[in-house]
Every structure is written in C-alpha cells, then in structure tokens.
Amino acid sequence: MTMTRTAPRSPWMLDISDLGRRPGSMIETEREIPAPADLGTDVISVPEGQTLPLTTRLESVVEGVLVTGTVRATAVGACVRCLDPVSINVESRFQELFAYADRAAHHREVGAEDDETEQHVVVDGYIDLEPLLRDTVVPALPFQPVCREDCLGLCAQCGVRMEDDPGHEHVDIDPRWSALAALAEQAEPAEDD
Ligand SMILES: [Zn+2]
Ligand SMILES: [Zn+2]
C-alpha cells in the first residue's frame, strides 16, 4: 500500500478505507450526490447537478465490497404525445460487487465466464458509483414518457392539442383531389387586380 492516495476524482467516488477487508464488516451511509451529466435518454433525463438522495450499504466480502443501495431522482422530459413537460420520480435499488483489483486480475486469469459483463473494481481504496448509478437509473426511466396514460396527444393533421378540442375533426379529402385542388389554387388568377 502506498502512502499517497489519489484524491477522489468525483463526488460519486466512495472512500471505502474505513470498511477494511475483514469479511463481515459493514458500513451504512446516507448522502446526497449531484446528478452526473447525461443521466437519461434523449426524451427524458435527470438534470445535471440535481441533488440525488443516496443510501448505501457497504459489506466487506472475500472478493471485494458488496454495495447495496437506493437512489432517488426526478427525471424531466416531454410527453411523446403532446410535448407537455413531464417529470417522473424514480427510486431505484442496486446491488453490485466491486472486486478488489488483485481478485479481479485473478478472475481474468482463470477466465471467468462473465467476460461480457462489466466488472466493477475497487481502485486505490475507492469505488466509483457513477457507472452503477447510470445502469440503475437510466433503465428505470420510461422509454416513451407520457404526461398521462390517457393523454390524447396532438391532432396529426393540424397539431392542435386534442384535449383542448376533443371533438374536432378534419374532412378527409381524397389525396388525389387535394393535389388537384392545390394545382387549381396555384392556377387561379388573382381576382382583385
Ligand atoms: Zn401528453
Ligand atoms: Zn386537427
């Protein structure tokens, strides 16, 4: 172990030095961390810097540190039907093993079968929660957020909010006739010359 330790690079880095490596020791914490950038999808995301309440339980196990916890966030976006603002509260649970680097190396040597799954590793006495938070929060967000399950959306023809004018409809003109009508309109000489 070296005497100098890398300063935490981000607020999502947890110092685990108090936990020790004796299997069975445990630390429970509650803290608030700022949301990282791009926590979400194109249609809904958690604004960067939002204060996220985070609870964690760190357990020392033989392989590393088992991290169990919950994170809460409020994602904002737009309803995919009517484009009104939408905000959605999510509370997500996570559990992940952060392996000690020496153990992780051993795993690679023996060719652990889960090569394709991302392995979290304890680095220099810290664990980085950011990838874990991302994997926890983003899948909990709706793929197509709506302001209400029964949102009527916008009229496909004129774009008016159907809720504001639920009965309105458009006379369905045969597309061939409407093309002719458009031509006729163009050809029409200006009358009030
Ligand atoms: Zn809507
Ligand atoms: Zn319309």
CB of 42 closer than 8 Å to CB of 162: no
Cα 162 to averaged position of ligand 2 atoms, centre (Å): 8
pLDDT digits 0-9 by tens, 129-177:
999 999 999 999 999 999 999 999 998 888 888 888 888 888 766 666 6
Q: 56 pLDDT band (50/70/90 cuts)?
A: very high
Q: Average pLDDT of 1-24?
A: 74
Cα 45 to averaged position of ligand 1 atoms, centre (Å): 17
Q: 82 pLDDT band (50/70/90 cuts)?
A: very high
Q: Nearest ligand to the C-alpha of residue 157?
A: 2
List, in sequence order, every residue forming a beta bridge with 161; answer none if it has no partner. Answer: 154
Report phi then psi at 131, rounded to 5.
Answer: -60, -35
Number of C-beta neighbours around residue 14 at 10 A: 23
Burial 167-177 (b: 16+ CB within 10 A, else e): eeeeeeeeeee
Q: What is the pLDDT of residue 150?
A: 92
Q: 2 pLDDT band (50/70/90 cuts)?
A: very low
Cα 9 to averaged position of ligand 1 atoms, centre (Å): 40
Cα 82 to averaged position of ligand 1 atoms, centre (Å): 4
Cα 143 to averaged position of ligand 2 atoms, centre (Å): 27
Tokens of 156: 């496909």
Cα 80 to averaged position of ligand 2 atoms, centre (Å): 17
Cα 171 to averaged position of ligand 2 atoms, centre (Å): 10
Q: Nearest ligand to the C-alpha of residue 147?
A: 1
